[in-house]
Amino acid sequence: MFETTVTVVGNVSTDVVLRQTQDGSPFVSFGVISTERRFDAKTESWSASNKLFVWVTGWKRLANGAASSLKKGDPVIVTGKLRVDEYEKDGEKRTLVKVNASAIGPNLAFCTADAQRNSSEDVNTFLRAVDLDQVGGDPLPPALSAVAV
């Protein structure tokens, strides 16, 4: 089965809701709206055009992090697997675009963030397993103290 991975840049458009499955696994869900904006050189102004609404779902640690960090209106970047569901409501066919998120974060072009690790255990385990001088099998060049442009 082929999976389509997408990245959506937009704003949180609904409340960020944290729930649990029957077995206790946390998941978060919320809407994101991405609005295409174009600059009109004649009027020297920006205008909104196409809009995309996606329903985002994240699981486990991602769910907890998103629920404690995001609120309606926040600028976000979401990456995950794309799915399109078609359904019928009031006799009318509708389409809902969904993203099962693998990563969710603030869009730092429009806000600032204070990143705080929940646990350093995962990072320390990773760093112990990686010989940073031998990444990719080749020795890394010495670090540069400055770069001239």
Q: What is the pLDDT of residues 105-146, one digit of tens each?
A: 999 888 888 877 766 555 555 555 555 555 555 555 555 444
Q: Does the pLDDT value for residue 85 go beyond 90?
A: yes
The upper half-sphere exposure of residue 106, i.e. CA atoms within 13 Å in the direction of its Cβ, equals 17
pTM (two decimals): 0.73
For the chain, list the domains and their CATH numbers. 5-130 (2.40.50.140)
Residue of 45, 48, 56 lying closest to 15 (CA atoms): 56
Closest by CA to 23, choosing from 60, 56, 66, is 60
